Amino acid sequence: MNKSGSTGFRLASRWLARCGQGERLITFVAFMILVFVVFADVAVREISGTGLHWARQIGVYANLGVVMLGMGLASADGAHLRPRFADAWLPKAWAPALETLGQWLMAAFCAAFAAVAGSVVADSLLMQERSAVLRIVVWPFQALIPLAFGLAAIRHALFALYPPLRPSAPAPAEQGS
């Protein structure tokens, strides 16, 4: 089942690659929007003495995209934060099983968080909550949160099912003297 030549492995590998491409593209676009809006706000403020009243709100929404989808990019590259202080407490022979367990636990956490966030987004949709500044509905921006956690749940479940697809752990930081 977990063989690297299986159809499931190939499909998982393809999904992870395409998901990463999509996350990179959306994160890049969101970051460019953020940079443009902040630059425009500062430029207009310097020229006219007053900024763009909508710039902060657009910046917040763009930053939400960068942060939420950037989380997926970090986990896809194995660059997310993970405490390593307890790594030597258990025998090294247990490491593969513990890594798989960790992937399943992370998948479960992300799935639970996606469900809770999805419920909040559904409530916002039903109530038609709007941004006070932009007067637009907020649920499409909020939807990035359950989307990002849902994608992370799938990613970590695939890492648990197919260990060869896991990113390499980054080298430990060198201790200064």
DSSP 76-137: HTT-S----TTTTSS-GGGHHHHHHHHHHHHHHHHHHHHHHHHHHHHHHHHHT-B-TTT-SB
The Cα diameter of the chain in Å comes to 66
Write out pLDDT tens, residues 16-68. 999 999 999 999 999 999 999 999 999 999 999 888 989 999 999 999 999 99
**pLDDT on residue 113:** 97
**pLDDT on residue 4:** 67
Binned at pLDDT 50, 70 and 90, residue 5 comes out as: confident
Which residue from 154, 149, 96 is spatially nearest to 120, judged by alpha carbons? 149
Q: Specify whether the CB–CB gap between 153 and 174 falls below 8 A.
A: no
Identify the top-confidence range among 78-92, 111-125, 128-142.
111-125
**pLDDT on residue 30:** 95
Alpha-carbon span 54 to 58, nearest angstrom: 6
* Residue-range definition of the domain harbouring residue 15: 8-81+97-165
Flag whether pLDDT at 89 surpasses 90. no
Q: Is residue 89 a part of any domain in this protein? A: no
Q: Is residue 40 a part of any domain in this protein? A: yes
**pLDDT on residue 106:** 92
Global pTM value: 0.84
Alpha-carbon span 27 to 19, nearest angstrom: 12
**pLDDT on residue 169:** 65
Flag whether pLDDT at 135 surpasses 50. yes
Domain count, the chain: 1
Q: Is residue 44 a part of any domain in this protein? A: yes
Q: What token pair was written down for 130?
A: 């709007």
Q: Is residue 101 a part of any domain in this protein? A: yes
Q: What token pair was written down for 58?
A: 């657009």
Report helix, strand or coil for 37.
helix
- Which residue did the predictor score with more confidence, 66 or 84? 66
Write out pLDDT tens, residues 142-177. 999 999 999 999 999 999 999 999 887 655 554 444
Helix axes 7-48, 144-161, angle to 10 degrees: 150
Contacts of 61 (CB under 8 A, 6+ apart): 141
Report helix, strand or coil for 28.
helix
Q: Is residue 174 a part of any domain in this protein? A: no
Q: Is residue 88 a part of any domain in this protein? A: no
Rounded CA Rg of the chain: 20
